[in-house]
Amino acid sequence: MKKRTILNAMMAVCVAVALSGCAGKDGADGAPGAQGPQGPTGVANITSVNYQISTSDWANVATNQWSATSGSQNPPTTDLVTAFYSLDNLSFFPLPQTNIFTTSDNLTFGYKTGSALTFFYTNTGSPAGSPTATVYINAFDIPPAVMKQNPGTNWNNYTSVRSIMNNQSQSVKTN
């Protein structure tokens, strides 16, 4: 009998603590906790960098092949990096692209983690040679969070990418 009395008393204490120790469903919320640390890549915003590659910036790296380096953007491997070119700095087209200056030419880009963007031009057409005009490049670094927030976006469409970048609610860094 003693065991039963002790067990009932312990149960009553547990029930009393549980019922009186909580504010309940309609109780007031506590104070908010401290702000967590900044994530490793900062805020999820599209960043863009504009480049102007003049005809003298292209280096001949092999027969019918030239390259030019952006010099400043080091895109991370977890982000989508997309680039668009223009010959008038008004209408931009996605890279890679062919038949820009002559038939059988090709303009593309690439990067290695921790390195600047490199633009490649190959011309096997006639006349062979490096680009004959200034090439304007607008490169975008698009974090996965932005892509997830904008499903169905054509990331090769300059107007779509620029629109999302301009509509972001947080400040956008443009170099």
CA 84, 138, 161: angle at the middle one, nearest 5?
Answer: 70
Residue 15: pLDDT band with limits 50, 70, 90:
low
Residue 25 has a pLDDT of 60
* Predicted structure pTM score: 0.67
Which pair of structure tokens corresponds to residue 171? Answer: 């400040």
b/e string for 77-101 if b means 16 or more Cβ within 10 A?
A: eebebbbbbbbeeeebeebeeeebb
